[in-house]
Structure 1
Amino acid sequence: MDFILKILSILSPFIVGVSIAFVLNIPMKLFETKVFYSLDRSKTPALRKLKRPLSIAATLILVFGFLIGLTLFIIPQLIESTATLVNAVPGYVQSLETLVNQYINSSELLNALGNEILMAWKDFIQVGSKFLGTSLAGLLTMTLGFTTSVVNFGLSLVLAVYMLASKEKLILQTKKVIFAFFNKSTAAQILHLGEITDLAFYRFIAGQFTEALIIGALCFIGMSLLALPYPLLISVIIAVTSLIPIFGAFIGTVPAAFIIFIIDPLKALWFIVFIVILQQFEGNIIYPRVVGNSIGLSGLWVLLAMVIGGSTFGLLGMLLGIPIFSILYQILRTIVYKRLHTKKIVKIQ
C-alpha cells in the first residue's frame, strides 16, 4: 500500500492534469462547435488548424476570467463588511461594559476577576512563546508544501493544455495499446466501458453546474423577497459552493451568514433558517432530478450513491460516488437485459 501511495504521489500532477483537461474539454467543445466551427470550411490549412488553439485560449480566458471576476467581486464586499465590523466593535465593547457595570457591583469581585485574568495572561504568554519556538519549523514545512502544491498545479495545468491540444492523438494511441494487449472482444468491451465512463462524468459535471445555477438563482430570489443584505454577492457564494454535492450550500452559509451578521444579527438568523429550508428543497427535490436525470439515475439511487461514497471516502467519495454509481448501474442494466434476452424473457409483471 505504501508503494502504491508513493506511485500515486509521483503521478499526482498527471492525475490532476487529466482531471483538469476533462473539465476544460466541456467548454472547449462548445467553442469548437458553436464559435469557431466556420474555420473548418476555410480553404487555408493554417486557419483550419487555428480552431483548436483558439478554443483552448477562449476556454482558459473564460475560466480564469470567471475566477478573477469572482475574486474581485467578493473581496471588496468582504473588506467592506470587515470595516463595518471594526467600526461596530467599540459599540459592542461599550454595551458589554454597561452590562458588566449593571450586574457586577462588587469591587472585590472585580479585583479578584482582574487578578485571575492577569495570571491567565502570564500563562498565555509563556505557552505562546514555547509554541512560537516549536512552530517555526512547522511553518517552514507548510510554506515549502504550499510552494510545491503551486508548482504541481502549474505543471498539471500545462499537462492539461497539452492533452486538450492533442486529445485525438492520445485517444488513438490508447486504443492501439488496448487492441495490442487484448483480444478484439475484450478491447471492444474496454472501449465501451470508457465511453460509458466519459458520458457519465460529462453529464454529472454539466448537471452539477446546472444545479448550482438553479440554487444560486433561488437564493437570490429568496433573499430579495426577505430584504436580506447583499443578495447578489451571497447568491454567488452559495452557487459556487453548491458545486460540492448536497452539502456545498451549507459550506457557503458560514461566510455568508458572517457578512449578514455584521450588518444585522437578526437578519443573519433569518438567513440561516432560509438556507436550511432551501438546502432541504435542493437536496431532496432539485438535486436528484437535475443531476440524477442527467446521468440516468433516479433520486433514490443518487442519494444512495452519496451516502455510500461519503461514508467510504468522505468528500471525495461524495464527488465521485454519483458518476461511478451511474457507470455501475448502466453496466448492471446491460448485463440484466442481456440475460433476460438469453432466457427469452421479454416482459415481467
Structure 2
Amino acid sequence: MKIRWNHRYVQLGVTAFLVIAASILFYYGIFHMKSLITGIKTFFGIMAPIIYGAAIAYLLTPIVNFLERKIIFPIFEKKRNKALQKKGRKVVRWICVILSVFLMFLVIYALVMMILPQLIRSIMNIIYSFPHYVSVVENWLNSVVEKGWKLNPDMISQINQYSSRLQEYLTNTILPQMQFMMKNISASFLDLLVFLKNFLIGAIVSLYILADKEGFVAKAKMAVYAVLPTKWATFLVHSMRFTHKTFGGFISGKILDSAIIGVLCYVGTSIIGTPYAILVSVIVGVTNVIPFFGPYLGAVPCFLLILLVDPIQSLYFLIFILILQQFDGNILGPKILGESTGLSSFMVIVAIMVGGGLFGVPGMIVGVPVFAVLNAAVWKLIGRSLDEKDMSADAEFYRDIDCVDPVSGKVLPMPVKKSVSKAQEVTVKAEKNRIWSGAWDEIKRMFTFLVKFIQAKYIGFRLKQKNRRRRRKNRL
C-alpha cells in the first residue's frame, strides 16, 4: 500500500507524532538534565579525535593552499611545461598535506624545547635561591630585635594565638587534603595522556580531511540542497562562506600578530637584559592569541618570575611590555586584523567572558569570531526585516527621530526642547551651587568630627599605655 503524503489526515498524524515526540524529549531534557549533560560529554569525548582533526585541518588549510599554489604547483608545471593531471594533483596534494603537518609538529617541538629547559632552569633557580630568601628574612628579624623594638604583651599574645591557629589549620586542613591533591595531580596526568592520544589521532584524521577537503565541501553542499529548499540552502551556503571568511581571517591574523609580538618581545628583552628572555617571549606570544585579556594574562606570571630573580629588571620588563602592548593594540593589530570582527570593544569583552566561562581558554580565543558571526547574522536579519517594512537600515537615521506613527507610518522627529531664559539659567545655577555648598559643608563637618574622634581615641590609647607602664614600674 502506497502512502499518500499529501493526504490531509496523513499530514495531521505526522504532525501529531512530531509534537508528542518533541514534548517527550523536552520533558526528558528538563527533568533529566544531568543524564543529558553526561550523555553529551560522553559523545564529545568519543568524537574528540574527529573534532581535533577537523580543527587541525581548518588551521592548516591556509598553509596547504599556499604550498600548492605558490610553491609545489609552479615547480611541477615548470618542469613539465603543462598542467598536472588528476593523479598528479592528488600526489601534490598529499605532499603539501604531509609537509604542513610536519611543519606543525616542528613548531610544537620548537616551542616545547624553548619553554621546557627555561622553565626547569627557573624552577631550579627558585629552589636554590629559597635559602637565600629565608636568610634575608632571618637577618631582617634579627636586625629588628637588635634595634630594641619591643612588642606589647597584647601583641605577643595575639602572635601566639595566630601561630597556634596556623598550626591547627596545617594539621587539620592541609594535611588531610594532600591525598586529594595527589589524586587531582594523577587525574590531570591521565587527562594529559588522553589529550595527547586524541591529538595524535586527530593529526592523522586531519591528513585525510585535508587530502579531500573539496570533496567534503561538495558533499556538504549536496546534502544541504537535498534537505532544505533552494532559497534557504543558498542562504546557508552564503552564511557559511561569510563565517569562514570572518573566522579564518581572525584566527590566521591573530596567530601572525602573536608570532610577531613574540619575536619583538624576545628582541626587546634581550636588549634590556631580562632573565629568561626566551621563556618570557614564548609566554607573551602564546597568551597574546587571547584577545583583550591575553597580554595581561601573559605579562603577570612573567613579571612575578623576573621579580624573584631581579626586581629592577622586572620594572624594566613591565614598562617594556606596556609599550609593546600599546604598539600591538594601536598599530600592529589594526594593520593585520583590520575590522575583521565588526564588534565594538564592549561586545569583544562580552564575547571573551562568555566564551571563557563556557569553554575555558579555547572559548576565550574562539569567542570573538563566533560572536562576530552571530552579530553579523542578527544584523542581517534586522536589515531584511527593515527592508520589508520600507525603513532605513542605517543606525544614524534613528538618532534624530522620536518614533514611527503606527497609523500613518510617518517618522516623527524628536521634540524640541523649550528655550530657557538667561535669568532662569542663573537661578538654576545659583540653586545648584547652594545645594553643593551645603553638601560640602556637611562633608567637612563629618570629616572634622572623624578626625577629632580618632585623635581622642589615640590620646586615650596613649594614656592607657602610660598608666600600664606606671603600674609595672610600681610593681617592680
Q: Structure 2 regions of 5+ residues with no counterpart?
A: 1-28, 398-476
CA deviation map 1:30-85 (0-9, x unaligned): 12222221446576765432212211111111111111112112222233333433
Query: Is the aligned partner of 1:10 residue 2:25?
Result: no
Q: Specify which of 328, 351, 368 is matched with residue 322 of structure 1.
A: 368
Structure 1 window deviating more from structure 2 (191-200 vs 271-280): it is 271-280
Report the equivalent of 1:57. Answer: 98
Report the equivalent of 2:427. Answer: none
Structure 1 window deviating more from structure 2 (40-49 vs 16-25): it is 40-49
Note closer, same or farther for the CA distance 1:43–1:140 as it changes in structure 2 (3 Å cut): closer
Secondary structure of the structure 1 residue equivalent to 2:274: coil
Report the equivalent of 1:274. Answer: 320
Secondary structure of the structure 2 residue equivalent to 1:50: helix
Secondary structure of the structure 1 residue equivalent to 2:290: coil
Deviation at 1:140, TM superposition (A): 5.3
Report the equivalent of 2:116. Answer: 75
CA deviation map 1:154-183 (0-9, x unaligned): 333333222212212211211111111112
Deviation at 1:194, TM superposition (A): 1.1
What letter is aligned with 1:91?
H
Give the TM-score taking structure 2 as reference length.
Answer: 0.61
Pairwise mapping of residues 125-274 of structure 1 onto structure 2 (< 5 A)? 125=171, 127-134=173-180, 138=184, 141-224=187-270, 226-274=272-320
Report the equivalent of 1:95. Answer: 136
Number of aligned positions between the proteins:
344
Give the superposed CA RMSD: 3.9
State whether residues 310 and 317 of structure 1, in contact with CA within 8 Å, keep that contact through their aligned partners in structure 2: yes
Pairwise mapping of residues 86-125 of structure 1 onto structure 2 (< 5 A)? 86-104=127-145, 120=166, 124-125=170-171
Note closer, same or farther for the CA distance 1:344–1:311 as it changes in structure 2 (3 Å cut): closer
Query: Is the aligned partner of 1:20 residue 2:56?
Result: yes
In 1, the alpha carbon distance for the partners of 2:192 and 2:280 equals: 29
State whether residues 215 and 239 of structure 1, in contact with CA within 8 Å, keep that contact through their aligned partners in structure 2: yes
Report the equivalent of 2:69. Answer: 33
- Structure with more helix by fraction: 1
In 2, the alpha carbon distance for the partners of 1:248 and 1:316 equals: 12
State whether residues 341 and 368 of structure 2, in contact with CA within 8 Å, keep that contact through their aligned partners in structure 1: no
In 2, the alpha carbon distance for the partners of 1:231 and 1:244 equals: 21
State whether residues 224 and 231 of structure 1, in contact with CA within 8 Å, keep that contact through their aligned partners in structure 2: yes
What letter is aligned with 1:306?
V
In 2, the alpha carbon distance for the partners of 1:164 and 1:104 equals: 72
Note closer, same or farther for the CA distance 1:139–1:278 as it changes in structure 2 (3 Å cut): closer
Q: Specify which of 326, 330, 336 is matched with residue 290 of structure 1.
A: 336
What letter is aligned with 2:68?
E
Deviation at 1:26, TM superposition (A): 1.9
CA deviation map 1:75-110 (0-9, x unaligned): 22233333433443333332222111111258x99x
Report the structure number with the largest CA radius of gyration.
Answer: 2
Of the two structures, which has the highest relative contact order with CA contacts closer than 8 Å and spacing of 6 or more? Answer: 1
Report the equivalent of 1:306. Answer: 348
Q: Structure 1 regions of 5+ residues with no counterpart?
A: none
Deviation at 1:122, TM superposition (A): 7.3
State whether residues 292 and 349 of structure 2, in contact with CA within 8 Å, keep that contact through their aligned partners in structure 1: no
Report the equivalent of 2:452. Answer: none
Deviation at 1:192, TM superposition (A): 0.8
Note closer, same or farther for the CA distance 1:4–1:75 as it changes in structure 2 (3 Å cut): closer
